[in-house]
């Protein structure tokens, strides 16, 4: 009898220990039977300014395997391999790998199966116990355009997980472009579904009737400022060229098109082909992944004469009717009559004219020491230039934007020594050569400033986020330059004449019925052929579009850059291009080598 009581008491104490003292078993039980299944939201759509879809999501399927449920010996592995279109020898190996990871937890057996393969596979799924399909979504681009703007999406890296605990291994994250900049609004909100699972990992329905479930919230759509048609047209025209095109709506700062050439099809960086293509793009000597529009430093060339003229007018060192002789002993120039006004100086892009203009700005004679005087002048000039959005980053809503370079006194002091330099040392700045450089988006912004006669709105690519517009990070205020509006008139007039009057340098940008203002430039390149530049806007009195065109190694700006810019203006303002011949010529122009049939076969051998 005593033994009965003894055993009962021992068991009673043991149960006390198991059920009350020891917490471990309660915790184990939770992870045993309850699974928190993450519900992945679909990423927000990206649309152009007219509602055209630029990026949408396509369902793909991951084939998952729970090794413990697989009937290894009975299953037809060859059939599975055929259905998946993979090498049959590898299937068992994949299974073994998954099994060594865990017998009970699911592993990915085959990533991102296409819809077609999934359709075929689905019919036979019952023959493969232990396998199931999990849907995921991938980015798709109906028009393969704007790769640099849109950016790409990839699996989070371990560093990104450490930085932000929101992400778990296998999650997707925006890696570049708008996908990265607007990651937090695009990604949406993950949901969770609490389900009970049995010992073989089979789901047995929702836990507590879904009391703890939360729905996944789809990412907010991004309404961009891009005009998909214009973007596509610009990319088309930029084929066979290297450089950049940026088009802005001047009054709002909305970017209509942003092209870096050569570009690539954004669909290449999606899904199973991503890593392979990424490697190929990284290795391409033409650097297609590099966003020249935001990151490439170029000497601006003659378009720099626009701010030079404006600063001089504002400083009062010249007036609109100031004329200078085209004295080629000061600085080289092409043959043209002497410019008798600022307007004519711009129209003919006279180098000696701007040599004199810049000299007056830098050496105003405020002090007698010429070195001291130049320091004062350059400091003042610097402030002006920065008010044009130059020499500093424009806060565009893409992360990898560069600021270009406007030299300051500190730079020359370091380079030549304090009071060891004067105007004569830095005169090449007058025509946009030397130590100055701009990135293409700053050039387009300069065109917008000219169109607005004195201010710019920071260029941006997104005008609305979702329905409530939460998370929009755009500055839409006007940034005024230090130059008064009235001084813009003669300079803008010069841009008009450059396009529409004889001896203008941008004559090839002329469009019937549209009053175009433009300025060409030739950016001297010590490493090879000169780069061609054009900035412009139209219509003159009610500007709708401002463009910058930068063509690497393409010679004089008036030859190809100006007509290319004008084609974009025509396309945007009229919806179609009437100048077929010009369009064909621009299309055919390339800096790359062609084969006998006219296909571009490679970069020039310079």
Residues making contact with another protein (CB under 8 A): 1, 3-5, 7-8, 10-12, 14-16, 18-20, 22, 24-26, 28-30, 32-34, 103, 196-200, 204-205
Rank residues 22 and 593 by Cβ distance to another protein and give the closer one: 22
Hey, what are 156's tokens?
């989070």
Q: 400 burial class (0-12, 13-18, 19+ CB within 10 angstroms)?
A: middle
CA distance 409 to 377: 10
Three-state DSSP class for 442? Answer: helix
Rank residues 24 and 606 by Cβ distance to another protein and give the closer one: 24
Lookup result for tokens 């049995």: 198
Rank residues 4 and 126 by Cβ distance to another protein and give the closer one: 4
- Integer distance in angstroms from the first to the last C-alpha of the chain? 105
CA distances from 31 to 19, 89, 206 (A): 17, 35, 15
Hey, what are 513's tokens?
């019925």
Rank residues 35 and 392 by Cβ distance to another protein and give the closer one: 35
Q: 456 burial class (0-12, 13-18, 19+ CB within 10 angstroms)?
A: buried
Minimum CB distance to another protein, residue 183 (Å):
37
Minimum CB distance to another protein, residue 201 (Å):
10
Could you give the residue ranges of the DSSP H alpha helices within 106-153?
Answer: 115-124, 147-150
Minimum CB distance to another protein, residue 30 (Å):
8
Minimum CB distance to another protein, residue 71 (Å):
18
Hey, what are 330's tokens?
């000061």
Rank residues 30 and 214 by Cβ distance to another protein and give the closer one: 30
Minimum CB distance to another protein, residue 572 (Å):
59
CA distance 316 to 449: 20
Hey, what are 127's tokens?
């023959």
Strands (E), 378-516: 455-457, 462-465, 478-480
Minimum CB distance to another protein, residue 82 (Å):
33
Contact 517, 548 (CB under 8 A): no
DSSP secondary structure, 192-230, as one string: EEEEEE-TT--EEEEGGGGTT-B--BPPPPEEES--HHH
Minimum CB distance to another protein, residue 17 (Å):
9
Minimum CB distance to another protein, residue 37 (Å):
15
Lookup result for tokens 């039977």: 33
Minimum CB distance to another protein, residue 14 (Å):
5
């Amino acid at each position: 009898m005593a033994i009965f009581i003894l055993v009962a008491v021992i068991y009673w104490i043991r149960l006390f220990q198991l059920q009350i003292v020891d917490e471990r078993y309660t915790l184990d039980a939770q992870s045993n039977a309850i699974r928190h299944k993450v519900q992945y939201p679909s990423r927000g759509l990206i649309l152009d300014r007219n509602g055209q879809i630029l990026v949408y999501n396509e369902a793909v399927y991951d084939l998952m395997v729970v090794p413990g449920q697989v009937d290894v010996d009975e299953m037809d592995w060859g059939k599975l391999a055929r259905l998946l279109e993979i090498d049959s020898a590898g299937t068992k190996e994949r299974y073994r790998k998954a099994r060594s990871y865990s017998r009970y937890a699911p592993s990915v057996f085959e990533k991102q199966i296409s819809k077609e393969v999934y359709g075929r596979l689905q019919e036979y799924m019952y023959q493969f116990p232990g396998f199931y399909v999990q849907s995921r979504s991938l980015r798709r681009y109906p028009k393969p355009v704007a790769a640099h703007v849109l950016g790409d999406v990839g699996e989070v890296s371990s560093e990104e997980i450490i930085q932000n605990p929101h992400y778990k291994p296998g999650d997707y994250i925006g890696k570049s472009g708008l996908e990265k900049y607007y990651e937090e609004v695009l990604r949406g909100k993950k949901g969770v579904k609490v389900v009970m699972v049995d010992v073989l990992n089979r789901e047995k329905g929702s836990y507590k009737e879904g009391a703890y479930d939360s729905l996944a919230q789809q990412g907010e759509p991004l309404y961009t400022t891009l005009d998909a048609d214009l973007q596509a047209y610009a990319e088309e025209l930029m084929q066979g060229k290297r450089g950049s095109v940026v088009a802005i709506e001047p009054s709002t700062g909305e970017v209509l098109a942003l092209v870096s050439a050569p570009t690539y099809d954004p669909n290449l960086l999606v899904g199973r082909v991503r890593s392979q293509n990424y490697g190929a793009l990284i290795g391409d000597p033409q650097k297609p992944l590099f966003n020249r529009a935001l990151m490439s430093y170029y000497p601006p060339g003659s378009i720099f004469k626009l701010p030079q003229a404006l600063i001089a007018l504002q400083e009062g060192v010249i007036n609109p009717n100031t004329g200078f002789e085209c004295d080629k002993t000061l600085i080289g120039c092409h043959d043209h009559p002497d410019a008798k006004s600022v307007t004519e100086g711009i129209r003919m892009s006279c180098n000696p004219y701007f040599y004199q203009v810049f000299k007056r700005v830098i050496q105003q004679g405020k002090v007698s020491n010429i070195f001291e005087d130049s320091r004062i002048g350059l400091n003042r000039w610097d402030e002006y230039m920065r008010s044009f959005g130059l020499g500093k980053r424009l806060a565009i809503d893409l992360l990898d934007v560069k600021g270009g370079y406007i030299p300051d006194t500190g730079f020359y002091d370091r380079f030549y020594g304090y009071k060891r330099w004067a105007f004569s040392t830095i005169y090449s700045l007058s025509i946009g050569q030397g130590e100055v450089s701009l990135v293409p988006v700053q050039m387009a912004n300069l065109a917008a400033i000219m169109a607005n006669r004195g201010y710019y709105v920071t260029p941006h690519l997104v005008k609305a986020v979702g329905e409530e517009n939460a998370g929009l990070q755009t500055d839409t205020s006007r940034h005024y330059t230090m130059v008064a509006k009235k001084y813009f008139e003669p300079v803008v007039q010069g841009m008009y004449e450059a396009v529409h009057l004889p001896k203008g340098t941008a004559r090839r940008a002329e469009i019937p019925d549209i009053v175009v203002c433009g300025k060409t430039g030739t950016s001297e390149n010590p490493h090879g052929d000169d780069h061609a530049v054009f900035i412009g806007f139209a219509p003159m009195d009610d500007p709708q579009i401002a463009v910058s065109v930068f063509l690497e190694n393409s010679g004089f700006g008036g030859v190809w850059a100006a007509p290319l810019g004008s084609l974009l203006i025509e396309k945007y303002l009229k919806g179609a291009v009437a100048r077929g011949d010009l369009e064909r010529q621009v299309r055919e122009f390339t800096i790359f080598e062609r084969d006998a049939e006219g296909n571009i076969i490679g970069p020039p051998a310079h």
